[in-house]
Structure 1
Amino acid sequence: MAELLQVVRAADGSQSPAVGTLPKDKHSGKFWEMATSAIASSGLQQLDVGAGFADLLARKDNAEILNHKKAAMLASRVMNDFVIQKIEGVIDEGKSVKHSKLAEQTEQVILSPTKIGVKLKDDNCDVAYPPIIQSGGRYDLKVSAGSDDSPLHHGVIVCSLGTRYSFYCANLCRTFFINPTPTQEREYGALLAAQEAVIAALALKDANQPHLVEKLSRNLGHGLGLEFRESQSALAAKAEGHKTDNGRVVRAGQVYNVSLSLTGLENPTAKDAAGKVYAMQLSDTVVIGEGGKAPEVATQACSKAWDKVSYMLADEVEEDKDPQQKAAVHAANGMPARKALRSDDPNHKSAEAVRKERQDELVKRKNEETLRRLTAARDGDQAVASSTGRKLSEVVSYKSVGEVPASRDLVIQVDPRAESVLLPVYGIMVPFHITCIKNVSHSQDNDHAHVRVTFNFGPSYEPYVRTAPNCVFLKELSFRSADMKHASKVVQEMKLLRSTVTQRDRERAERATLVTQDKLVTGKRVYKLPDLWMRPAMGGKGRKVPGTLEAHANGFNEVVFVMYRNIKHAIFQPAKNTMVTILHFHLINPIMLGNKKTKDVQFYSEVADVVQTLDNGRRNMYDPDEIEEEQRERERRNKINQEFQVFVKRVQEIWEKDFADMRLEFDIPFTDLAFNGCPHRSTVPMLPTVNCLVELSEMPFTVISLADIE
């Protein structure tokens, strides 16, 4: 310590060297005592540098400002989606609730914002001070005040919320009026104008409310940061220009709590003693912008407009009228007056009206999309090709006449090499490619056979022919033959050739639409899940055998590769009242399994034997063999579920580490919310998950993404 003090003396170089200290901060411990004693006995002049450090930390970087805005958003959402809804419900139903109880419920919502649908991590959310709810003539507008146990009064209600996100603070305060008087409306307008301008008492005089000057709070706000109140950045009524009363300049990047309040106001027309004295307060979190831009009000999502903070109770407005006047009002309104909250906003819309507007927008958009699609199809922009995936204009049987096989007999012939059929027409063998033939059939009539060949024809099959309106189409040909065996053989050959070519072209067309997948990167540590079956099964003959699912660095590997970045939904369905445990992957782009294209790949393991032994007939319910068999079945189910659970957890760790941008995670169906539905051919149990609605037990599978539902 002595060496450090010696360095301070040498660095200062003056006759009275000085050292900066923080005298307001009190600490404990041997090191603190030793340092304080050494500085005190060193003879160095001690200067308070707290103000300098406060000024240094007053400006926030972009990350800090983002945390302030998240805290402000949290306060606004809690005020709009919980506090206001709660107060309206209490007043509308005529219930009695304590200030402290409402404040406690509000604090729980701030600590767990997911309760109201705010997507912020609970661990990062906290309160800057306990929420303050005040009404009934007793108001203490300091943040150190608390909410008392008195019931909520239907008069003037002041609600203050202080929130933190990642330790950065925001503040929000709103005042609500039940059955306000015109005087209260004018006073609130003056306070709102002053708060928006952030000016001193002169603004209230200009607003024609001079009696409010002495009611105005001395401070107009303060800076916000890791500390809720940065005293070095206080805003006071003496502020002039861009300087506060302590002479410090307001700079870009600073965050302020602009708070104006009026206390000790009186309402002589109040019907009870609790409503004769009231207070008003408005507080918002403001971020100072760069380059002279207007400050950004981070809590502007919570409206301060008069029609949003004032309510009228219909029964109290009419309770002084005589029965004849009430009857007249009821007849004019068409409904009896009841206790309800009514906004003065003329543009107020009911939920039914908003829903109808939304439905009209969707219908209009769908009609426009359908019109564009049909118009494009009519103009040939979306021409539908043949079932083989090739246009007739692209099909060539023989490039020249010399390639046509020579035949002395005018009989139907099949040329598998050219994928064509030779048909005798007016004494000439005319070749037709097999893709031009739609169907072929034959029938027997006594000693003769009839062969009927139907062709694909018309603009609906080949749209390009619209450019040649004089085309003549051949629809079908019929042949009569005395050789019944030859006719039957030719028909079978044509059907076989057509089936082979159609399947090959369809597979080729499907493969052409596939998206190229990444190559599998083998990880240093490969997680495996053995004894699995896959659906849809790979084509091929032979006995089916179980496989092993491997999780690598960027994808899965069993018989096929499933890349992580191609997964849209990953679903883990443990065996619960079912015979199988399932891992299901719904893909973004389809892949080929054998000769079929699919967007769903499933791996499962059977947890119980489906076969039931019937050799001993009926057994006793207390049969020890049957009890032991059931016990083994439960153990096997638990073991397989545990293996799947461990595998899922390890894969999830890979996703969170290397694929965090995809926000991919395993969904588990809610079996308690299952319901029966018929997505395809049969009625099956439908299971909802967090992100989709699924049916994974029977093929074809059903995975409906909730994000795709309008």
Structure 2
Amino acid sequence: MQPSGWVRWVSKSKKHASAMEHKGRSAGGKVLRSRSKTATLDESILNKIKEHQKELVKQKQEEGLKRFAGEDAGAQDTSENVFKKYESYRRESQLPTKVDDLRIMVDHRAQSVILPINQFAVPFHVKTLKNVSTSFEGDYTYLRINFVTPGQLSGKKEDVPFDDPDATFIRNISYRSTDARHFHELSNEITEMRRIALKREAEQKEMADVVEQDQLILNKQRPLTLPEVFPRPALEGKRVPGHLTIHQNGVRFMSPMRQDQKIDIPFSNVKHLFYQSCDKELIVLIHFHLKAPVMVGKRKTRDIQFYREASDVQFDETGNRKRRYRTGDEDEIELEQEERRRRHMLNKEFKHFAQRIADASEGRVQVDIPYRDLGFNGVPSRASVLLQPTTDCLVHLTDPPFLVITLSEIEIVHLERVQYGLSSFDMVFVFSDFSRTPLHVSSVPSSSLDDVKQWLDSVDVCVTEGAVNLNWGAIMKTINEDPHAFFQEGGWGFLQADASDVSDESESEQESEFDSDLDDGDQESTEYSESGSEFGESEESGSEPYEDSEEGEDWDELERKAARDDQKRRRERGEGSGSEDEDVKPKKKSKGGFGKL
């Protein structure tokens, strides 16, 4: 027999449990209401973004029509392919004296190959040669020289245009000799000369946009200096820190090892100036993004950075006098506090120096700081990095290769592979200068989709999305052929139309799947009711009787309905009614109240 106090405690605990249950339900109701309110707020924000994006696309189309309107509204790329002519020798007297032997000769000085044709020495420039090959047939060795000629459809390169449609071109020429070693040496020599010529041409093409910078005017007085900083890209030789100084019209980095190793950056060539703190980073840096690329050592670069490491390697010295009376935690706390103070001083020093650079430029350069809270991960080149928005750009400055995208130069941003169930999507930045190749940033997490769209919309950048990756090479080629016609036919509206169609299709697919799930559920429920006898036989009730809900039907009524359904199916199959009384007669209930059908 239990004491009365125990009974009072049990009744009190039951009351407390019921009160907590009621409180939980009411709290749950509040949570649901707050979630619905948040969903409504998110929906209103999405609607505002959609309306704003429609206005931006319309504005871009109007700007495109005005931009490419006029007499020269056709192709933006006015450079046409022309048949280039190369001259080996201007006069016959410039030919080598050994040509009288009428042998195949290679003249590296004139970058030409002299071939004997019909008792004449005919020079061919190396740029007119396509390739050289040798083959063997019996006792003879064949040397075949193929030339670059118009009308060749093979290869991915654009076809060489005709200078004169009535002209006749030689595709190839072959020579035969019994001296296999001589022909093999000639083939290697011609191939090597052609490789050097192609390399030289590629270097000239790469250096075409390198401009001559303004001469740096040095300060006569002692200039402001930021000591012990490392440059990126690094200079040749040993990696040692140098000094960055501010002068009248720019900044200069000087290596302490060699006076001829220096980097001059005039303010006239600076497009963006960034300062990035060492909070949650290993380095603190000042970054210059240039308008035109410059040569740093033997490298062409548009981004120059000066940084300092935020933390040094710490050594735990044990065995000293302090260590005898301490457990070690105090030393670790002191090290952490010292590192925080060091990071704070570094941030203060670099930020102050960046601001002094902006002041010395007299308004031509402003300091821009990345916002880490708005950053998102992506793969712009090789690895996944943190992309951080700034006031005017989207940047990654921590590790090379650096990424700096100016927002004012973006025409539109298209989000690819935006589908339900995918863990990531891609971003394509199309620039206002259609001759530039669009920039792809892949593998952006889908969790950042709403934040990315909201940020791009806040800086007035057109954003569209689609479910598949597009062939941007073909798209930009079509736009460059006739940009005015592109904007007349709707411009970038086709991206929005595709996105809306894809979203409608996805919604309809989801609705159809949902409907099919409902149908399957109904079918399963009917099968469940028909197989209720098995359920009733397998289930065993407890000592307490089964309490049915007020809305449910009695088991006897369910048995009669099941019997009538069975009788109806047999009648449809033509089996007759059978013993109706036996079918309709309900069976006995089990001990727990579950009927057997």
Structure 2-normalised TM-score?
A: 0.47
Higher relative contact order (CA 8 A, sep 6+): 2
Q: When you count helix as a share of all residues, which structure comes out higher?
A: 2
